[in-house]
A and B are shown apart, each in its own frame.
Chain A
């Protein structure tokens, strides 16, 4: 395929993905917004008042970047894993597999579709957060870049999960047993300074901690970790997952017989 045809193919996949999650917006866009709003009300406003300051900021100010990042992570992942697995389940993925569209374009189209949902949800959650607290972004470039890269990373992870999945149960195992615990223990609700040195060390093995803190650094200017490590880690994981995804596509893992 020539570059123009590749672009057409990519934009077709991307557009279809956006059309899919906007068509079913009550399932894809509304629930995360409601959940995050509840977090703002309960943790930020009601309980947060009694917690006091954290990292030099009110608890509400501290928790908002983490919750935005949590929404981005879960939605980027969920969009790709459910969309690609549904395409496998309904066999509509064959429409793509029989076409001349290169594997990397298929993966890029789905991943960017997931990024679009992650960022839209993140944006809406940010708007709602502004009803509870004033947000003044300290480092706009870092904020935008880390949220985009994190979204790409988890969309890729969702894509790989969908390739391996053989049932709808398989697409909920990773989000339930891996993603949610890592997110909750990834410094969304607390600073790791509150933990004992052992648990601080353990927390530093959690990649989500780096992403949440890099984003918090972008918004508030404070972080538990060095943001350079966060960017290096995210980029390395993206490279690793993209390579793995392409390898699986090339060998037709659970897609071709």
Chain B
């Protein structure tokens, strides 16, 4: 099957000599919901910039649904929609015009562009704002506007560069639902985000990029499985004055109604519950202390940093 996106040995060195990408390679399969993660300055936006032609690569190759961008970039662009990190529309144009005009840039007849504009503005809750100048919109509305604009030509591959940055929780959730819906309909999605909870909830596969190199490229499930331990917060019905006996587990009392317990790989949660029940402590709810992916992400980057520091110079 032809990959939705195939990147091979992609390199970018800026004019000032900074090497933003050191030869990264990865594939994204059609229909995937793919996370591209990395700290600030890792090379995510450079990669996206190359895919949409705003950044010129200095080496390697990129194919979008089998179309090499060096051979037929305009055709590849027809399959690609990009939602950038920063607002990049005219602040003085009306919402409807911004979206509809973008359809024109893709060669869509005016009637079709108007029809699609209405469709996506309605879906993203912006139809009531269609005659409002973009500068009058809230931050969340501006982000939704950019999503509507990126979808106007109904691309097969949609790339979103931190689409939920600065968006409130309720809106973020509704955007997640919308993205899941279009992914289920067959649009391949690549997402960069700093909210690892977002990547864990939405994405199936992941690539982690750091200092221009891919440090991990696997499925989210396999990555989560590599966690050697997880830390849980348990809420108890009983009020506790001292930490109970945790047996083989490591734990501590957080406050009179919550405990923090570390569960190592191979240990069973049932054993923990049984141990607490034996001490007349009943657990009413439990949750991870931090996002699991976040813990992995931090540890992976720390490993990479350690590895690099250990390298002979």
By a CB distance below 8 angstroms, the chain B residues around A256 are 53-56
Q: Does B88 contact A (CB under 8 A)?
A: yes
CA distance A9 to B109 in the complex (A): 9
How long is the Cα–Cα vector from A208 to B92 in the complex, in angstroms?
A: 35
Cα distance A252–B93 in the bound complex, in angstroms? 25
User: Pick the contact of B107 from A1, A16, A87 — CB < 8 Å?
Assistant: A1
What interface size band does chain A fall in? Answer: 20 to 34
The answer on a CB contact under 8 Å between A98 and B53 is yes
A residues 101-143 with Cβ under 8 Å of B? Answer: 101-102
Which stretch, A52-60, A88-96, A179-187, touches the partner chain B?
A88-96
Other-chain residue from A1, A90, A94, A95 in contact with B101 (beta carbon distance below 8 A): A95
Q: Please tell me if the beta carbons of A92 and B97 are within 8 angstroms of each other in the complex.
A: no
Tell me whether A92 and B104 are in contact (CB under 8 A): no
Contacts of B55 in A (CB 8 A): 256-257
> Main SS of the interface on chain B?
loop
Please tell me if A97 contacts chain B, counting CB pairs below 8 Å. yes
CB-defined contacts of B108 to chain A, threshold 8 Å: 5, 8
A247 within 8 Å of B (CB atoms): no
Query: Are B104 and A98 closer than 8 Å at their CB atoms?
Result: no
A8-B104, A257-B49 in contact; A100/B88 too (CB < 8 A)?
no
B88 touching A91, Cβ below 8 Å: yes
Q: Please report the number of residue pairs spanning A and B whose Cβ atoms sit closer than 8 angstroms.
A: 85
CB pair A9–B105 under 8 Å, yes or no, is yes
> Does A19 sit within 8 A of B, measured CB to CB?
yes
In the assembled complex, the CB of B61 is this many whole angstroms from the nearest CB of chain A, namely: 18
On whether A99 and B77 interact (CB within 8 A), knowing A11-B104, A256-B54, the answer reads: yes
Q: Which of B27-64 contact A (CB under 8 A)?
A: 49, 52-56
CB 8 Å contact bits of A245-257 with B (1 = contact, 0 = none) = 0000000100011
For B54, what are the chain A residues with a Cβ–Cβ distance below 8 Å? 94, 97-98, 256-257
How far is B80's CA from A101's CA once the two chains are assembled, in angstroms?
14
B89 at the interface (CB under 8 A from A): yes
- Check: B2 CB closer than 8 A to any chain A CB: no
Chain B nearest CB from A61 CB (Å) reads 41
Contact of B88 among A5, A8, A92, A101 (CB under 8 A): A92
Which A positions have Cβ atoms within 8 angstroms of B? Answer: 1-2, 4-6, 8-9, 11-13, 15-16, 19, 23, 86-87, 90-92, 94-102, 252, 256-257
A-B contact pairs, 18 of them (CB 8 A): A9-B106, A12-B101, A12-B104, A19-B97, A86-B90, A90-B89, A91-B86, A92-B89, A92-B90, A95-B88, A96-B105, A97-B54, A98-B52, A98-B80, A99-B102, A100-B105, A257-B49, A257-B55
